Amino acid sequence: MNMKEQNGTVQVGGQAVIEGVMMRSPHAVAVAVRKPSGEILIKKEPYQSLTQRYRWLNVPLIRGAIVLFETVVLGIRALSFSGDVALEEDSKEKTAQKGPAKGKFAAVRMAVTIGVAFALALGLFFYLPLILTEWLGVQNGFWFNVVDGGIRLLIFLAYLFAITMLKDIRRIFQYHGAEHKSIFAFENGLDLSVPNAQKFSTLHPRCGTSFLLFVMVVSVLVFIFLGRPEGLEDRLIRLLFVPLIGGISYELIRLSGKYSHVPVFSWLVAPGLWLQRITTREPTDDQVEVAIAALQAAVSEDFSQPIEIIEANHVRETGRN
């Protein structure tokens, strides 16, 4: 989910990670992860978006591309951190032996992870649909892009259904639901407690899943104007339009989240909410506890404890402040 600040109310967004949740507010990013011992480890750091630091970037279309890039980077960093925590018990001795080289190794590993993830996404969701559409022999530019977009959407849905078969992914989807529930409680001005959060739905109109669906649809509309790609250059040119597609999608989900009660925008929100029935699951109380811990850390302006450990089986039921 993307975050923004509007009408004096701080709005936050987050992402499910391995055995935890990352939350982002206008001034901080916090990751809370359940350790194998049962304790909750929270890592918090100050963070301000480029769109906040430079006003000229906070304009329609441009800000969407910026937020998309920042979300990907922060998400990968949070996943890397949560993965390290999850494997902490098994790798303690190895980590101790690495010494000063650990930081350099982590940086290299993150760079490789980003590169591999980008290459796989490019091949699966961008290049493969183009190849399949060409094999079908579609010549008309308009219908070529409609078929290409349809195949891309089918691949995306098949991918989501496939990964739900994995036990670890299902747990991440539960944390995804916990993220949404805790944000709903915050947005409704309730104390951040597990019982309060559990009252809400796991489906949120500003979810990143909905954003991806917007990207799929908007890409079709944008690529129609480019016609049928004839060669490698034409395919590569399409990549240059990805920031524009992200920017348009961001504005649409921003509006749909703000005016979800208006019929036109409720129709825009509906497909994304349906898709979230795949990417979210009902969380357990201890998973919601982790999401609340991340959210409280993200909205707090106290940076005296960048690393905090909450004892096992301790559910915090304090308010927003």
**Is there a domain that residue 320 lies in?**
no
**Is there a domain that residue 316 lies in?**
no
Cβ atoms of 280 and 173 within 8 Å: the answer is yes
pLDDT at residue number 111? 59
**Is there a domain that residue 317 lies in?**
no
For residue 114, what are the CA distances in angstroms to 69, 77, 80, 152, 180? 12, 10, 11, 21, 26
Rg (CA), the chain: 21
Cβ atoms of 23 and 14 within 8 Å: the answer is yes
- How many independent structural domains does the chain possess? 1
**Is there a domain that residue 321 lies in?**
no
pLDDT at residue number 210? 84
**Is there a domain that residue 98 lies in?**
yes
For residue 172, what are the CA distances in angstroms to 19, 21, 108, 283? 7, 9, 25, 10
Residue stretches of the chain with pLDDT short of 70: 1-10, 88-118, 257, 260, 311-321
| H/E run at residue 62 | helix 62-86
Tell me the pLDDT of the chain averaged across its residues. 82
Range of the domain at 109: 5-310
Distance separating alpha carbons of residues 265 and 50, to the nearest angstrom: 28
Residues sharing a CB contact under 8 Å with residue 20, sequence separation 6 or more, in sequence order: 31, 32, 33, 34, 82, 85, 175, 290, 294
Distance separating alpha carbons of residues 135 and 205, to the nearest angstrom: 37
**Is there a domain that residue 318 lies in?**
no
**Is there a domain that residue 97 lies in?**
yes
Structure tokens at 155: 């691949």
pLDDT at residue number 151? 93
pLDDT at residue number 88? 66
pLDDT at residue number 115? 63
For residue 22, what are the CA distances in angstroms to 162, 180, 202? 24, 12, 16
Please give the backbone phi and psi of residue 29, each rounded to the nearest 5 degrees, phi first: -125, 130
Is residue 297 classed as helix, strand or coil in its secondary structure? Answer: helix
DSSP state of 140: S
In this prediction the pTM is 0.82
**Is there a domain that residue 242 lies in?**
yes
Q: Which residues are paired to 10 by β-bridges?
A: 5
